[in-house]
Amino acid sequence: MLLPHAPLEPTDRLTGQIGRYAIVRRLAVGGMAEVYLAQMRGPHGFARSVVLKRIRPALARDGQIRRMFADEARVAAHLSHLNIAQVIDVGEEGGEPFLVMEYVEGRDVHSLLADAGVHGLPIDIAVAIAIGVAAGLDHAHARRDADGRPLGIVHRDVSPSNVMVGFDGNVKLLDFGVAKAQGARDITRAGTVKGKLQYMSPEQALGLVVDRRSDLFSLGTVLYEMLVGARPPGEGASPARRRPAVPAALDALVARLLSGEPEGRPASAEEVSIALDGIAREERLSSSPVALRRYLVERFGEPEAVADAMPALFDEEPETASLSVSSAAVTAVTSVDQPADAVGFAETVAAPVSRKKRGALVFALAVAGALALIPVLAAGGDSAEPPEVEVSPAAPVAPAPERRIEVAATPLPAAPPEPVEQAPSPRPPAKRKRAPAARSGPAPEPEAAPEPAWDPDEPLLRSQKRRIRP
C-alpha cells in the first residue's frame, strides 16, 4: 500500500542508479515498496521519464513479499489499456526486484479533491473520471490467459490516490500491487486485509472472498467523494442529499454501487461505463479528455516539462545530429543560439565566390550587354550594319553595374527576344531584271555566235585567251 502524499525526507532527492535507470528523486514510500521518478536513457539521445517501484531494502529478503511483487508483474503483463498505467520493464538490482511503469504527468484525484475543498469536483469532471476508471476496470476484469480462461483479476485498491488524471486529459488507473488473480501464489490468510479500509467493500473489509463487484463498490465510494467532497456516511448513501444539483440518474447509480450486498450492485464495470456515458449524454455533460485537460490547466496551470525540472544526470555532452552547411553559412553564423535576424548579410556576401558563381556572373553580364543593344538596333532602322562596339580585353568588370542601371531605366518590351549571337549580314545587291518569258510555247534556245578566225597580228579575244594555257 503506497502513501504518495507522505512528506519527503531530506534524502529523497539523492540521485543514484538502479539498473539502467538514473534515479531523480523518491516520490513515495509505503509499507512494502518505494516509488522513484527515474529517467531511462539510450543511444542517439533517447530519453524517457519513468516511474520505478522497488521493494524496500529491509523487506527484500522476505519471501512472501517477493512473491507478491512477482504476482504484480505477472498481472501487469496481461494489461494493456489506455486507462491503465503500463508496466514497461521488470528487473532486479543487487537482489532487489523492481518494476518500471510509465510516467503520467498530471494530478491524482486526491490532489483534485484537496484543491476543490468541501464543494467537490464539477459534476461533469467527476463523471468523466469515473468513466475512465470504469473502462480500465472492465479491461482488467475481462482479461483471459493464453488458453482463454478468465484470469479473475480484482484490483482491490481503487482509491483517489490510485486514479491519475493526466494533463493530456486521459485517466489512468494505477497500482495493481495488491491485485488478486487466479493462479497467484500468494494466498490471502484469514483476517488479512489488503487495500485502504475507507474504500473497501464490506466483504473485502471482512477478509471474505471478493470478485469484480468489490472494485465497483470502491468506484462508487470514489465517485461519491468527487461529487460531495466527503466520503459516504454508509452503504447506499445518496450524493443528491448533500448536493441537490446531482442528476437523479447519477444519484441512483451511485446508490447501487454502494450497496452492501454484491448482488445489489451492477454486474460489471462495462455496465457502469455504459450507464455513465448515457447520463453524460442525457444531461449534456462535457466528459471528454479536452474538458479534463482544460480543468487541470485552469486549476494548476500548464505542466512544467519534466526535463527542465530534472538535474543533470550525465556528465557527457548530449548527442547532436550532424548538419552539413556551406562555407558562407559558417562565416555568417557563429553560434547555434544566435537568432537568425542577427546574422549580417554583408558577412555572407564577403565569402569567397566559387567557380560556378563566377561563371553565372559573366553570363549575366553578357545577357545585360545583349539586352542593351536591343534599343540601339531598334533605333537604327534600315542601316546595313550595327555600330561596332569596342571592348578592350583588359577592361575591368566593375563598369558592369553602371550598364545594368542604364538598361533598367530604358523601357523594355514585355517579352524581349533572345540575344543575337551573330551580327546581321549586309543588304544583298539588287537583283537583275529577267527578260519576260514568251506567252506561249517553249522559249527558243539562243544560237551561238560564230567565233572569228584567229589572226596573229590582232589582239586575242577573251574567249581565245582562255584556251591558251600558260
Spatial CA neighbour of 140 closest among 25, 26, 268? 268
Roughly how many angstroms between the first and final C-alpha of the chain, as a whole number? 133
CA–CA distances in Å: residue 406 to residues 84, 365, 372, 375, 376:
76, 13, 8, 12, 13
In tens, the pLDDT along 76-94 reads 888 999 999 988 888 888 7
As a whole number, mean pLDDT of residues 12-25 equals 75
53 phi/psi in degrees, rounded to 5: -120, 130
Mind spelling out the 3-state secondary structure of 81-99? Answer: CCCECCEEEEEEECCEEEE
Distance CA 233, CA 231 (A): 6
Distance CA 250, CA 243 (A): 12
Distance CA 33, CA 51 (A): 13
HSE toward the beta carbon, residue 83, CA cutoff 13 A:
17
Quick one: pLDDT at residue 436?
A: 54
- Catalytic amino acids? 157
DSSP 364-418: HHHHHHHHHHHHHHHHHTT-SSPPP----TT--STTHHHHHHHHHHS---SSPPP
Quick one: pLDDT at residue 303?
A: 81
Does the global pTM surpass 0.75?
A: no
For residues 30 and 125, the model is more confident at 125
Distance CA 414, CA 120 (A): 76
Look at the alpha carbons of 60, 64, 67, 71 in this order and tell me if their dihedral is positive or negative.
negative
What is the fold, at CATH topology level, of the domain defined by 10-309? Transferase(Phosphotransferase); domain 1 (1.10.510)
In tens, the pLDDT along 166-224 reads 999 999 998 876 666 554 544 444 444 566 889 999 999 999 999 999 999 999 999 99
Q: What is the CA radius of gyration of the chain?
A: 47
For residues 384 and 286, the model is more confident at 286
In tens, the pLDDT along 383-394 reads 444 444 444 444
Which residues, at least 6 apart from 345, have a Cβ–Cβ distance to it below 8 Å?
332
Q: What is the mean pLDDT of the chain?
A: 73
Residue 26 · residue 12 · CB < 8 Å: yes
The pLDDT confidence band at residue 108, using thresholds 50, 70 and 90, is very high
In tens, the pLDDT along 228-243 reads 999 999 889 999 999 9
pLDDT over threshold 70, residue 467: no
Q: What ranges do the domains of the chain cover? A: 10-309
pLDDT over threshold 70, residue 149: yes
As a whole number, mean pLDDT of residues 354-365 equals 63
Q: What percent of the chain has pLDDT over 70?
A: 58
Residue 175 · residue 199 · CB < 8 Å: no
Cell of 103: 510516467
For residues 399 and 453, the model is more confident at 453
Residue 41 · residue 33 · CB < 8 Å: no
Distance CA 235, CA 154 (A): 21
Cell of 240: 443528491
As a whole number, mean pLDDT of residues 26-53 equals 86
Can you tell me whether residue 163 is helix, strand or coil?
A: strand
Element (H, E) at 35: strand 33-41
In tens, the pLDDT along 410-458 reads 455 555 555 555 555 555 555 555 555 555 555 555 555 555 555 555 5
65 phi/psi in degrees, rounded to 5: -65, -40
